[in-house]
Amino acid sequence: MSKLIKRIALSVVTMAWAIWYLVDTASRAPKAVLLIRPVVYIMGVLFLINLIRDIRKWKLETKGNNEGFEYATSREIKIALVSFAVVAVYVLSMNFLGFIISTAIFLAGAFIALKAKTIPAVCMATVMTGLLYVVFKILLKMPLPRGFLGF
């Protein structure tokens, strides 16, 4: 049973955080919920699918039948940890650098990490940052973090 708990713990914590975020955002900015609610619903469906899959794998494990079950390699775990750290740095740097600069750097880095060529990656990151700015700042009228440069 402890293996099952370990396997689903991150999913449960992530889903709980998403629900908390939805409730917290609804109390502060009701318009923002229009975007967040569908995302939380999709996360909920994916959470249930993942939970069912994990329970099935756990049942197979406990019966001694490990066919089709693979543990994550140390390389995969490192990639996941580095990805989490990069996202954490992105979120923490947003207040200092601002939404536009931190998002452009984050997206360009992500595209380059996914083996995109540098110039197209920077162009795509710039376009995506602009689109995100238009959606959140102009259409949804949500305040975005301003950096030390004021944008």
Confidence band (pLDDT; 50, 70, 90) for 12? Answer: confident
Q: How far apart are CA 19 and CA 43, in angstroms?
A: 10
98: DSSP letter: B
What is the arithmetic mean of pLDDT over 10-37? 77
pTM of structure: 0.56
pLDDT tens track for 42-66: 888 888 888 888 888 877 777 765 5
pLDDT tens track for 92-114: 888 889 989 999 999 999 899 88
Which tokens belong to 76? 């995969």
Contact call for residues 86 and 106 (beta carbons, < 8 A): yes
Confidence band (pLDDT; 50, 70, 90) for 122? Answer: very high
Can you list the alpha helix ranges (DSSP code H) found in 1-150?
2-28, 33-62, 74-97, 99-113, 118-133
Q: How far apart are CA 22 and CA 26, in angstroms?
A: 6
Domain definitions of the chain by residue range: 1-71, 73-151
